[in-house]
Amino acid sequence: NPATPLSALDYVLEELDMVLIMTVNPGFGGQKFIPYTLEKVKQVRAIVIAKLNTDIQVDGGVSAANVREVLEAGANVFVAGSAVFGSEPAARVKEFNEIFKEYEK
């Protein structure tokens, strides 16, 4: 959750395949992305790069308008429910895929 300190990972990090960072407060879809969670993504990326090959997933408010920032912060798995299924899902998926292609290695 946005307010959960990263120290909660200290004792389990070596066991994780993925860390999910909620970028909204859980409860309902369609909430606005909380910008300060980008710093949390950056901090988790720095921790896992140093120790593990762990995915970082973000959930909440991810859209084509902010997914570049989230990618650059270090996330590599995204949940984008309302941003995709709110209207014209095929067009939204295409939009996300075009952005993801910009970041392919």
pLDDT tens-digit map of 64-90: 999 999 999 989 999 998 999 988 999
Question: What pLDDT shows up at residue 27?
Answer: 84
pLDDT of 97: 95
The rounded distance, in Å, linking the Cα atoms of 61 and 3 is: 16
Q: Order of strands, edge to edge, in the sheet holding 77-79? A: 18-22, 55-59, 77-79
At residue 12 the predicted structure's pLDDT band, cuts being 50, 70 and 90, is: confident
Query: Which one is predicted more confidently, 50 or 67?
Result: 67
Mean pLDDT of the chain: 88
What does the pLDDT average to over 19-29?
A: 87
Name the pLDDT band for 102 (thresholds 50, 70, 90). very high
- Give the model's confidence band at 51: pLDDT under 50 very low, under 70 low, under 90 confident, else very high: low
pLDDT (0 to 100) of residue 50: 67
Residues ≥6 apart with Cβ < 8 Å to 92: 64, 80, 83, 84, 85, 86
CB-based contact 2:22 (threshold 8 Å): yes
> Is the Cβ–Cβ distance between 64 and 97 less than 8 Å?
no
Region 21-25: mean pLDDT is 89
